[in-house]
């Protein structure tokens, strides 16, 4: 397998956990992952997901990541065990995810707009960066599952553009960085634009 350059805002890709041999390009890898992810989208977004199907618990967050990437990566659904160039310290992952789930429940009781809840949750879990890879796609799907659970239109992210080098990716990363610094406005505008 070839070494690929790291895209801006991406953690380095460690291919040692790849289940499928013979993958030699990022395009091949993206195709394999997308096939798996499409099944997960159908499971959770074809109809309004129930609390039983999507309970937004720590175990379920890991299960969702494993469902998305488990046919391709051995480490899917398992917290990273090393620190990366992005994300919280590995020892803080579970605690920070639990706090974010609690925040989501609190925002709901406070009448925060559902799209804002989704955008905040998406931002906070991708900022934690709990897995070796796939955090962006996982966090965007989490946001959409939350929207679907509450009968809100979904955010139709242009995944091929967000996942690869593009102006949209640059805008997305800028919005995340701005939210990291306390200004959610750009991220909320992006969510609204694609909803």
Q: What is the pLDDT of residue 93?
A: 98
Residue 2 lies in a domain: no
Burial class (CB within 10 angstroms; exposed 0-12, middle 13-18, buried 19+) of 94: middle
The pTM is what? 0.91
Looking at residue 5, its pLDDT comes to 60
Q: Which H helix or E strand runs over 89? A: none
- Give me the pLDDT at residue 12, please: 67
Average pLDDT of the chain, as a whole number: 91
Q: pLDDT grade, residue 9 (50/70/90)?
A: low
Instruction: Identify whether 9 is part of a domain.
Output: no
Report the candidate in 83, 94, 92 with the shortest Cα–Cα distance to residue 59. Answer: 94
Tell me if 6 is assigned to some domain.
no
Q: For residues 27 and 4, what is the distance between their CA atoms, to the nearest angstrom?
A: 11
Nearest Cα to Cα of residue 191 among 141, 163, 154, 149 = 154
Tell whether 189 is covered by a domain. yes
Name the pLDDT band for 2 (thresholds 50, 70, 90): very low
pLDDT of 6 reads: 62
Residue at 1 is within a domain? no
Q: Residue 183: its pLDDT value, please?
A: 96
Sign of CA dihedral 138, 141, 88, 79: negative
The answer to whether residue 23 is domain-embedded is yes
Distances (CA, A) of 66 to 36, 78, 150: 10, 8, 24
CATH code of 109's domain:
1.10.3290.10
Task: Check if the beta carbon of residue 137 is closer than 8 Å to that of residue 159.
Answer: yes
Coil vs helix vs strand at 18: strand
Average confidence (pLDDT) over 147-157: 95
Q: With a cut of 50, say whether residue 14 has pLDDT above it.
A: yes
Does residue 110 form part of some domain? yes
Maximum distance among all alpha carbons in the chain? 50
Residue 11 falls inside a structural domain: no
Name the residue range of residue 119's domain.
17-193
**70-96 pLDDT, tens digit each:** 999 999 999 999 999 899 999 999 999
In the chain, the number of structural domains is 1
């Amino acid at each position: 397998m070839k070494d690929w350059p790291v895209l801006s805002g991406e953690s380095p890709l460690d291919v040692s956990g790849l289940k499928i041999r013979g993958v030699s390009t990022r395009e091949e890898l993206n195709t394999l992952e997308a096939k798996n992810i499409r099944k997960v989208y159908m499971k959770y977004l074809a109809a309004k997901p129930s609390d039983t199907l999507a309970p937004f618990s720590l175990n379920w967050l890991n299960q969702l990541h494993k469902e998305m990437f488990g046919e391709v990566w051995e480490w899917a659904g398992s917290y990273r065990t090393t620190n990366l160039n992005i994300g919280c310290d590995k020892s803080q992952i579970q605690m920070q995810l639990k706090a974010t789930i609690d925040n989501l429940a609190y925002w709901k009781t406070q009448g925060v707009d559902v799209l804002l809840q989704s955008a905040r949750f998406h931002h906070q879990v991708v900022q934690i960066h709990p897995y070796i890879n796939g955090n962006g796609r996982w966090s965007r799907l989490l946001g959409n599952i939350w929207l679907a659970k509450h009968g809100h239109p979904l955010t139709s992210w242009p995944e091929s553009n967000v996942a690869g080098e593009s102006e949209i990716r640059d805008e997305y990363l800028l919005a995340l960085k701005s939210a990291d610094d306390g200004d959610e406005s750009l991220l909320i505008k992006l969510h609204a634009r694609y909803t």
